[in-house]
Amino acid sequence: MKLSRRGFIGALGIGASGLLGPAAMAAVRSDPLPRLLAEAQAALDRHGALVRHRDVVGLVDFAAPSGLPRFQMVDLGNGRVLANLLVAHGRGSDPANTGILQRFSNHPGSNASCAGSFLVGETYFGKYGRSRRLHGLDPENDKALARAIVIHRANYVSHTMAHSTGRVGRSLGCFTVADADIATVLALLGPGRLLFAGR
């Protein structure tokens, strides 16, 4: 893997610079994304042939508040951050609606986000239009498919909301992105790739 800590954080900073002021940028530069990337690489090794495509991975840094871009698509071949987007966490992970994830849960009915390695599955058309299923590969997220934890768009995730309130809306545990970003996510994070979430 060619991605260095400096190269990764530099690319992340460029992607986030349109939304963040200097203080927020300083916080982003000290975040745990290099660790998450290392964990994603370990997950690729651990799950072997289940993950057919190892060119691009999705990383979700749930340590960051929901008002900051925290969903990165990373090209593992050259170390480039291809996209850096807003993403919601689950209501059950943030009951007070603070914008900060408090807990993970894999329990059905929890409406919480879960962590770990997800295999990106097939595209389907649902309530929110074109969406993509996720298969949990780890004990902490192995109920993701049964819980209908998916990638989809919704109007409760937007840059306007992030700027005005410092957070975006909450999902029922899904990785929900802005209407304007769903095409990018689906194009870059196709079936057979890895999505890794943690904090």
Task: Domain ranges for the chain, please list them.
Answer: 5-198
The mean pLDDT value of the chain amounts to 87
Q: Which two tokens stand for residue 17?
A: 């610079």
Question: Do strands 81-85 and 129-136 pair parallel, antiparallel, or not at all (unpaired)?
Answer: unpaired
What is the pTM for the complete model shown? 0.84
The answer to whether domain 5-198 has CATH 3.40.1280.10 is: no
How do residues 39-62 score in pLDDT, each as one tens digit?
999 999 999 889 999 999 999 999
Task: Give the pLDDT band (50/70/90) at residue 116.
Answer: very high
Mean pLDDT value across residues 170-181: 98
pLDDT tens digit string along 123-175? 999 999 999 999 999 999 999 999 999 999 999 999 999 999 999 999 999 99
